[in-house]
Amino acid sequence: MVIIAPSILSADFAALGAEVAEAEASGADWIHVDVMDGHFVPNITLGPAIVAAVKAHTSLPLDVHLMIENPERYIADFAAAGAAVITVHAEACVHLHRVVHQIKELGLMAGVAINPGTPAAAVREVLEDVDLVLVMTVNPGFGGQAFIPRTLHKITQLREWAGEINHKGLRIEVDGGIAEATAPLVAQAGADVLVAGNAVFGRSDRAGAIRAIREAADGAVL
């Protein structure tokens, strides 16, 4: 069973409380929160205060995707704000192993993300330590971009490595351009957490959108 995590990047930022409450009522499993610093990616979004504000409007796990430089400086703040999952970018961490353990020591799920131009091997040495690998299926920074099919082989490779080290619980998340049409491709490759921004918050029928993505993904792995 896949986890569907709507990304609030495509929600109405002036009504985030109502938006996440509606996503929860519409069948979402996690809420994906995109944090951008204007340095690691060419866009700026939100910080821990907004995460804490969102947390007050949903009981779903908050899946915090840090697209920031020096993420180790802010992990405690996002944990205190109510994050359940914190994902850092491999490209942003000189001491990736240390940062992963910093997240785990706070009792959270630890994730590592890789950009489309980064090989799966960039996370191989910490695969035993992480709860989740996020394979970016677009270049991070903006919602509403087209899915990059070349990323699919990395999902397959990571699932294979997880099997070799008997890491059965490893979550493989995909983010960017995920919709009804692309969900079967990533699910077949081995992804089990699907982030969708535009495909959920860009539609008025959020329940229908979430259902369609879920059915497309689950149908592909039956």
Ligand X SMILES: O=C(CO)[C@H](O)[C@H](O)COP(=O)(O)O
| 6 interface partner picked from ligand X, Co ion, none, CB below 5 to 8 A per type | none
Relative orientation angle of helices 16-25 and 48-55, to the nearest 10 degrees = 50
Closer to ligand X by Cβ: residue 141 or 156: 141
- The residue length of the chain stands at 222
| Active site (annotated) includes residue 77 | no
- The binding site for ligand X (CB under 6 A) comprises 7, 9-10, 32, 34, 65, 67, 138, 140-145, 175-178, 195-199
| Active site (annotated) includes residue 63 | no
Coil/strand/helix, residue 147? coil
Spatial CA neighbour of 41 closest among 11, 71, 84, 12:
71
Token pair 């929600």 in the structure block, residue: 11
Strand arrangement, sheet containing 132-136: 3-6, 193-196, 171-175, 132-136, 109-114, 83-89, 62-67, 31-36
Interface with Co ion, residue 131, by CB under 5 A = no
Closer to ligand X by Cβ: residue 48 or 140: 140
Spatial CA neighbour of 132 closest among 215, 195, 70, 217:
195
CB of 130 to Co ion, least distance (A): 16
Among residue numbers 8 through 67, which ones bind Co ion (CB under 5 A)? 34, 65
Q: Which of 29, 34, 37, 192 is catalytic?
A: 34
Interface with Co ion, residue 89, by CB under 5 A = no
| 54 interface partner picked from ligand X, Co ion, none, CB below 5 to 8 A per type | none
Closer to ligand X by Cβ: residue 161 or 201: 201
Backbone φ/ψ region at 75: left (φ over 0), alpha (ψ -120 to 50), beta? alpha
Closer to ligand X by Cβ: residue 142 or 184: 142
Interface with Co ion, residue 173, by CB under 5 A = no
Catalytic residues: 34, 175
